[in-house]
Structure 1
Amino acid sequence: MSETVRDRVIAILAEQAVLEPSDVEPQHSLADLGIDSLGLVESIFAIEEAFDISVPFNANAPQESGFDVSSVDAIVAAVERLIAEQKG
């Protein structure tokens, strides 16, 4: 079975948070997972590499970048949107 975008994003965030992917819930914020600003940057680099996309440089300011990092679900949706935009 192929890995979904959601599965891969959760795996990246779980690795950064030193958690099992099963411990990462869609409603969790990065703070809930124990991911700080440096962890966010490392997670974004890993997401860019995993999906061959470019995340806006100001992703930590979603009102400016359109890349919402408020929850796991929001990050998954933002990654899916970027994949669609950059393929299209």
Structure 2
Amino acid sequence: MQDIAPRVIEILATQALLDPSEIGPEATIESLGLDSLGLVEAIFAIEEAFDIQVPFNPNEPGQGGFDTTSVASIVAAVQGLVAGKAA
């Protein structure tokens, strides 16, 4: 589970055209410069990387229980989905 955070940060960095070292847990999607398309592409990459289904609706980002307010919240949500898949 500890390799989830670096992989999620790497995916977000790729989408935001940033170096992973520039992304901290408190960073927001907006501060990374990701628009809605970039966020959707990052979520697709996260789904593929971890073989999970992310409950995210780009038309209603606040719904679905997948918190995209910060890098830390995305990492926590992915950790929960991965743990749920393993159970």
Same fold (TM over 0.5): yes
TM-score (norm 2): 0.91
Count of equivalent residues: 85
**Matched ranges for 1:36-51 at <5 A:** 36-51=35-50
Quick one: distance in 2 between partners of 1:19 and 1:57?
23
> How far is the alpha carbon of 1:36 from its aligned partner?
0.4
The structure 1 segments of at least 4 consecutive aligned residues displaced by more than 6 Å after TM superposition are none
TM-score (norm 1): 0.90
**Structure with greater contact order relative to length (CA < 8 Å, sep ≥ 6):** 2
Determine whether 1:82 maps to 2:81. yes
Unaligned runs of 5+ in 1: none
% identical aligned pairs: 55
> How far is the alpha carbon of 1:57 from its aligned partner?
3.5
The aligned residue for residue 61 of structure 1 is: 61
Unaligned runs of 5+ in 2: none
